[in-house]
């Protein structure tokens, strides 16, 4: 279904003109991939809590999956800079996610759940990176902000539809059935991927070398040159703290509902997941346009501030309705980080041929933060209570905001001299 060859096209000196079929196919990939992934995350934590797993055990398997993902980020990014077929990477990652979902459904014991989450985590090394590389290869740097906004819109729409459907499945059937649905959604994902034409994906452009022509790999800067880009290192630190605060917030809330035997807990968790996805679907294209007019930094500040306020709300109440409303802030944060991360990395690595490796670097740092988040918050909440867990999250969110405010430069190309 997926041809293992992407061809070089026109350089960015000529406006990229990918076919409508390729652009619609990429829309479908984002839509269905979000559905596949919606079977993991908070649903896994709630499902395991329902089966009387301890907070420590849940934190351990989630952390193991996160570490598997972060260990594969750098090699995955380097591989994507070198290989021509980004579509094959997406197909492989989707198959691995489906396999992980089926393993959890068939045998939800500790060793099998651990193996499934590690398998699913490994896909983080190349699945999301490959979709971004395809986007850049199709439309080029100049149109990347708008394309990333569109990617986020379709991903969020897919997440909303799939999460709503899976929430009703969990309520009327069981949490276990969610993982069958997640695996089944891989089929339409691969069909959408087949519509993305290899000839439309410019090999050099997908690595931030738009002028490269021919079948050979584009020239790339030395590896050590990436570590000299000050803005990239600061941004990675900001993302680390953001994920250290953000990743465990929703799983911690879901576990609390399960342990307290909250009525309609599955529907509450579903609403907590769906609200931010609706906000992202609405806001993402707007954020992509504003990133080109306002710059990147103001939008990042909005997203990081929303994270801090949300953590304080979660610490102050257990009322499901208030928490659901507060998830609007998660949608704001998700929009800003989702649209801007790859865009900022592209700004900072223009002309290096190391775009995907730099994505992998930022993804690794982000994964470390997310993995530590679930374990540390689980330990704090397990020993000191849920309020202490959320207050700790708020403290980390404040540190992230202060780092961003004080050190992170604007990376829009018009301000390039400020960060190189």
Q: What percent of the chain has pLDDT over 70?
A: 83
Tokens of 297: 């930094």
Averaged pLDDT for residues 164-171: 70
Average pLDDT, the chain: 80
Kindly indicate the confidence band of residue 103, based on its pLDDT and cuts at 50, 70 and 90: confident
Mean of pLDDT values over 179-184: 82
Region of poorest pLDDT, from 14-23, 142-151, 333-342, 404-413: 14-23
Q: Is the pTM of this model over 0.85?
A: no
Position 105 pLDDT exceeds 60: yes
Q: Give 389's contacts (C-beta < 8 A, 6+ positions apart).
A: 248, 252, 377, 378, 380, 381
Tokens of 143: 């149109």
Render 171-204 in DSSP notation, one character per residue: HHT-THHHHHHHHHTHHHHHHHHTTS-GGGS-TT
Higher pLDDT, 59 or 183: 183
Q: What is the DSSP string of 7-40?
A: -----TTS-----HHHHHHHHHHHHHHHHHHTTS
What number is the average pLDDT over the span 196-216? 74
pLDDT band at 382 (very low <50, low <70, confident <90, very high): low
Q: Among 12-21, 132-141, 316-325, 348-357, which stretch is predicted with the lowest mean pLDDT?
A: 12-21
pLDDT digits (tens, 9 = 90+) for 27-65: 999 998 887 877 666 677 777 777 777 767 777 887 787
| pLDDT on residue 258 | 56
**How far is 15 from 348, CA to CA, in rounded Å?**
21
Q: Per residue in 254-293, pLDDT tens?
A: 666 655 545 556 677 777 777 887 888 888 889 888 888 8
First to last CA, the chain: 42
Q: What is the pLDDT of residue 5?
A: 37
SS3 305: helix
Distances from the Cα of 117 to the Cα of 58, 113, 121, 140, 212, angstroms = 11, 6, 6, 34, 38
Whole-angstrom distance, CA of residue 239 vs CA of residue 369:
8
For CA atoms 262, 265, 271, 277, the dihedral sign is positive
């Amino acid at each position: 279904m997926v041809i293992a060859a992407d061809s070089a096209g026109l350089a960015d000196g000529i406006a990229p003109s990918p076919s409508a079929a390729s652009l619609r196919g990429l829309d479908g990939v984002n839509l269905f991939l979000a559905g596949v992934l919606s079977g993991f995350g908070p649903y896994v934590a709630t499902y395991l809590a329902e089966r009387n797993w301890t907070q420590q055990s849940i934190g351990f398997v989630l952390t193991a999956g996160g570490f598997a993902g972060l260990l594969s980020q750098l090699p995955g990014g380097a591989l994507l800079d070198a290989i021509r077929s980004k579509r094959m990477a997406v197909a492989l990652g989707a198959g691995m996610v489906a396999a992980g979902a089926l393993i959890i459904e068939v045998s939800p014991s500790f060793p099998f759940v651990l193996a499934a989450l590690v398998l699913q985590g490994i896909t983080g090394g190349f699945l999301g990176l490959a979709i971004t590389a395809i986007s850049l290869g199709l439309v080029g740097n100049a149109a990347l902000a708008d394309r990333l906004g569109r990617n986020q819109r379709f991903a969020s729409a897919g997440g909303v539809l799939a999460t709503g459907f899976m929430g009703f499945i969990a309520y009327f059937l069981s949490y276990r059935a969610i993982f069958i649905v997640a695996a089944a959604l891989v089929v339409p994902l691969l069909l959408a991927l087949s519509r993305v034409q290899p000839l439309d994906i410019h090999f050099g452009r997908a690595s931030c070398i738009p002028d490269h022509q021919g079948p050979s790999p584009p020239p790339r800067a030395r590896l050590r040159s990436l570590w000299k880009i000050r803005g990239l290192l600061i941004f990675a630190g900001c993302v680390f703290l953001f994920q250290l605060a953000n990743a465990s917030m929703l799983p911690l809330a879901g576990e609390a509902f399960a342990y307290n035997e909250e009525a309609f807990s599955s529907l509450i968790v579903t609403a907590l997941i769906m609200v931010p996805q609706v906000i992202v679907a609405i806001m993402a294209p707007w954020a992509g346009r504003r990133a080109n007019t306002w710059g990147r930094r103001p939008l990042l500040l909005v997203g990081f501030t929303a994270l801090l306020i949300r953590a304080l709300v979660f610490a102050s109440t257990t009322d499901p309705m208030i928490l659901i409303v507060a998830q609007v802030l998660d949608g704001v944060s998700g929009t800003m980080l989702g649209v801007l991360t790859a865009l900022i990395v592209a700004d900072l690595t223009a002309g290096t041929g190391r775009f995907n490796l730099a994505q992998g670097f930022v993804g690794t740092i982000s994964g470390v933060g997310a993995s530590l988040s679930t374990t540390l918050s689980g330990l704090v909440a397990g020993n000191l209570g849920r309020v202490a867990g959320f207050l700790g999250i708020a403290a980390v969110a404040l540190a992230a905001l202060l780092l961003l405010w004080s050190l992170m430069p604007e990376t829009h190309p018009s301000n390039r001299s400020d960060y190189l």
